[in-house]
Amino acid sequence: MLAARAAATDPDRPLAGLHVEDAPEPEPPAGWEVVEVRAAALNHHDLWTLRGVGVRPEHLPVVLGTDAAGVAADGREVIVHAVLSDPADGGGDETLSADLHMLSERGIDGTLAERVAVPSRNLLDKPSSLSFAEAACLPTAYLTAYRMLFSRGGLRPGGRVLVQGAGGGVGTAAVTLARAAGAVVYATSRTEEKRDRAAALGAVTVEPGGRLPERVDLVVETVGRATWEHSLRALRPGGTIAVSGATSGDPPAGLARLFWRGLTVVGTTMGSRVELEALCRLVESAGLSPVIDSTWPLDGAADALARLEGGEAFGKVVVTST
């Protein structure tokens, strides 16, 4: 079968280690099954793997990809929950397990292939209102945004949220979901074009570091060093920053503002299967469609990853295998 694999890693030239090639068919162990992949959404996790972050040389080559929508062996249209940890280890939440890991980690092949083996418990019915490409966007970016906003961030209807870096996958997801929940959404992005597109999704946009009309209850933070000070200044006293990434590097903590203003910082990674089920219900009930930047064939995975690496995408970059 055709697959996009990390065959080697390079911190400076990540795409140099990408091989789109014939790979062995998946052999599912007991309790797992094979899914025919129809679409897989790309994530920065794929680029970090190619840079050598979180992957050991002995686990290469490994098929990249955490997200997928496809068809199960029984003909059911499904989406794949990427977190492989045991929920019992995290008190019912697999993302809190000490053994947290996902597809494409620890030598377990991921979803950028014609077929992928996954635990049967990780399969959920695909929302019927979504195409395979749209559904493939849910399990990482949209699930991460859902958990940041609601489970960890405590956002309520009428609440105020700032989304830093609104052009990325998690950013566009956060704007879309927060607006659907009745929140007032502010958003930043580096380019005027992306700010205009975020505004079309319902956000009030400002330039990075720009002054907001009011302080917010919650900040969705995935950028890190470049936006951290602005995130702290944007919060009302007692507000919350939900952090799921730091693409520009780790920032200084700003402890004085944290304690003086009574701010809360919560970290979050991915989301549980229960939260993914809730996300699917929200998407269907609100009639939402994930924002897709572009779609590429599986044999064009290198170009798709280059699009993601270049930072010009607005929304999700998706690879289709049929």
Q: Is the pTM of this model over 0.85?
A: yes
Mean pLDDT, range 175-201, rounded to an integer: 95
Last residue of a domain, one of 267, 282, 312: 267
Q: What is the mean pLDDT of residues 48-73?
A: 96
pLDDT digits (tens, 9 = 90+) for 242-281: 999 888 888 998 999 999 999 999 999 999 999 999 999 9
Q: What is the pLDDT of residues 119-157, one digit of tens each?
A: 999 999 999 999 999 999 999 999 999 999 999 999 999
Amino acid symbol at 310: G
133: in domain: yes
pLDDT at residue 284 greater than cutoff 80 = yes
State the amino acid at position 21 in one-letter form. E
Domain that holds residue 133: 2-137+290-320
Does 322 score more than 80 pLDDT? no
**Is 82 found in the same domain as 192?**
no
Q: pLDDT class for 21, splitting at 50, 70, 90?
A: very high
Distance CA 234, CA 240 (A): 10
Average pLDDT of 66-72?
97
Question: Do 94 and 200 reside in the same domain of the chain?
Answer: no
Residue 52 has pLDDT above 80, yes or no: yes
Nearest to 279 by CA among 148, 186, 164: 148
Assign residue 172 the CATH number of its domain.
3.40.50.720
Question: Is the same domain home to 182 and 133?
Answer: no
pLDDT at 247: 84
Same domain membership, residue 210 and residue 242: yes
Q: Is a pLDDT exceeding 80 seen at residue 34?
A: yes
Of 252, 267, 282, which closes a domain?
267
265 contact partners, CB below 8 Å, separation of at least 6: 240, 241, 243, 258
